[in-house]
Chains A and B, each alone.
Chain A
Amino acid sequence: MITASQVVKRYPGGFEAIRGASFEIAEGEIALIGGHSGAGKTTLLKLLGAMERPTSGSLIVCGQNVAALRSGVLPFLRRNLGFVFQDQKLLFDRSALDNILLPLEIIGLSPKEAQRRARAALDKVGLLSREKAYPIALSGGEQQRLAIARAVVNRPSILLADEPTANLDEESARQVLDLFLAFNQAKVTVVIATHAPQIISGRSLKRLTLSHGALLP
């Protein structure tokens, strides 16, 4: 599902955020990307989400080499990926339901089918009763769950999450993680970047630990 080989990300000015990372994540696996602050977790996640391009090396995601991806193909790769951003990136001028409808509008689903799927996604994250609420009226945990619903509504094959439990209380964090585990059971590959890799324990996980841009063995 994901194969990285000697991936390097160097920013203008020469700073190397990722230094020669090589790893594989199989279909249906859960992978935790850990490491200290500034280790390169978010950069690696952005590379996996094709929001950044590797400077060198090869990164294959869903059969596409992100390093050599044509701009015309990029949107279609992203439709296969669900992304939960650290800052959620919810649209505050749209209701919860309308936020979830956006990815479905993008793929051109009929309004009826889109509404049905969006409500099902909201139901899955426990927010169906808040479908008309605007994000500003939702708690931090609810906003995070809404962001997850938007990420999975398109039934992606890979779910990428950047610090999904940061700023959440213990109960909300538990609910969010349970959702990831539930999606993983439905064969969705889940990749979570977190500075607290102990958030999920007692399961067979792939753990990738970064230190100053390099993967620790």
Chain B
Amino acid sequence: MYTWFQQHLRAFSRALKRLLASPLNTLLSMLVIGIAITLPAAGYAIIDNVQALGKGHSGAQQISIFMELDASSAAVAEVRRRLKTRTPGQWRFVPRDEAFERLKNTEGMAEIISSLPRNPLPDAFILEPEDKSPDALEALRAETSSWPGIAHTQLDSAWIKRFDAFLQLGRQAVHLLALVFAVGLIAVTFNTIRLQVFAQAEEIEVARLIGATDAFIRRPFYYFGLLQGVLGGVAAVFLLFFGLTAIRPAVTQLTALYGSGFVLHPPGIADCLALIAAGGALGWVGAQLSVSLALRQQKATQR
């Protein structure tokens, strides 16, 4: 166990020395890997933020029933009666004056509303039925739209569905991007390690001749790949953090214009650690593939 630990420690320190021996190469590789991780990670962070924005709004499946503008109070009472007797679930009545007041208080609308000669909004009912299946909702919407005094009915969950579909598309695009960049990252590590194996061909040959196992020869390269990936991950965390921090005021300003208090959040500690771990794991995989291939080629030429 002690021997095993000693050999890993030596391999790690040798890998670290190799990284430090060529600081410019290390820095460039770190940047390339960092950028490769940053791009999909930024996509994830933005989608995460937008998703949180969506969660802030009601995701309830609602039906809005708008009365005709000139609907009488008798018509309103009739709808109220029908809802009470025929529709299981919750509903509430929104009088046109209340809706008008709410609209007036909406950011940027006050001026427009005050220029209107009269209240253009109708009385409305907001329904949250018990049965939220799409067919039941659609059936209820169709039924209520045929009631007397009803001008228009609307399934309010439609925008949530669109929003979710958009997020789903974004998530898939980010997954694809992550996959492409992961392959790129593996390729970068693969090439760096391959060059290292060739540069140290003599040392590897000597080590083999004096009794080194394949594991002994491979270990420093694995650690090199791992360290390079981890450093790339650290670079990605900094790039992501500074990138999101840089665009944050502009995003806040933009969303404020639409009356939202949305704030772009940088990734949390768990996300940062996941990025660093992903960098390390991909570096390790790249090193493993590269060393296996290069050593096999080397053995074949020495045979």
A interface residues (Cβ-Cβ under 8 A, vs B): 49, 51, 75-79, 83, 85, 89, 91, 102-103, 105-111, 150, 154
Q: B223 → chain A, closest Cβ, in Å?
A: 15
- The CB with the most chain A CB atoms within 10 A, among B203, B206, B208, is that of B206
Interface size class, chain B: 10 to 19
Given A51-B209, A83-B210, A150-B210: A106 and B216 within 8 A (CB)? yes
Q: By the criterion CB–CB under 8 Å, are B10 and A79 in contact? A: no
Using A75-B212, A154-B211 as known contacts, say yes or no to A91 and B206 having CB atoms under 8 A apart: yes
Q: For B105, what are the chain A residues with a Cβ–Cβ distance below 8 Å?
A: none
Stretch binding the partner chain, chosen from B1-9, B38-46, B231-239, B252-260: B1-9
23 contacts between A and B (CB under 8 A): A75-B208, A75-B212, A76-B211, A78-B210, A78-B211, A79-B211, A83-B210, A89-B202, A89-B205, A91-B206, A102-B206, A102-B210, A105-B7, A106-B207, A106-B211, A106-B213, A107-B211, A108-B3, A108-B7, A109-B6, A110-B2, A110-B6, A154-B210
A90's nearest neighbour on chain B, judged by CB, is: B206
Considering the complex, which residues of chain B in the window 193-245 have a beta carbon less than 8 Å from any beta carbon of chain A? Answer: 202-203, 205-213, 216
User: In the complex, what residues of A have CB within 8 A of residue B207's CB?
Assistant: 102, 106
Nearest B residue to A77, CB-CB: B211
Contacts A89-B202, A91-B202, A108-B2 aside, 16 further interface pairs with beta carbons under 8 A come to A75-B213, A75-B216, A78-B210, A83-B209, A89-B205, A91-B206, A103-B210, A103-B211, A105-B10, A106-B210, A106-B213, A108-B3, A108-B4, A108-B6, A110-B2, A150-B210
Residues in chain B near residue A106, CB distance under 8 A = 207, 210-213, 216
Chain B residues with CB under 8 Å of chain A are 2-4, 6-7, 10, 202-203, 205-213, 216
Residues on A with beta carbons closer than 8 Å to the beta carbon of B205:
89
- In the complex, which residue of chain A has the Cβ closest to the Cβ of B215? A75
| B4: A residues at CB distance < 8 A | 108
Q: Separation in Å of the B219 CB from the closest CB of chain A?
A: 11
Measured in the bound complex, the distance between the Cα atoms of B208 and A78 in whole Å is 9
Distance between B96 CB and nearest chain A CB, rounded to angstroms:
85
In the complex, A105→B6 CA distance in Å? 9
Query: Please, which residues of chain B bring their CB within 8 A of the CB of A91?
Result: 202-203, 206
Residue picked from B3, B6, B207, B209, most chain A C-beta under 10 Å: B209
Which residues of chain A are near B202, meaning CB under 8 Å?
A: 89, 91
CB distance from B5 to the nearest CB of A (A): 9
- Find chain B residues with CB under 8 A from A77 CB: 211
A153 to chain B, nearest CB (A): 9
User: Which chain B residue has the least Cβ–Cβ distance from A94?
Assistant: B203
C-alpha gap A99/B207 in the complex (Å): 10
CA A102 – CA B206 in complex, angstroms? 9
Question: Which residues from B are CB-within-8-Å of A79?
Answer: 210-211
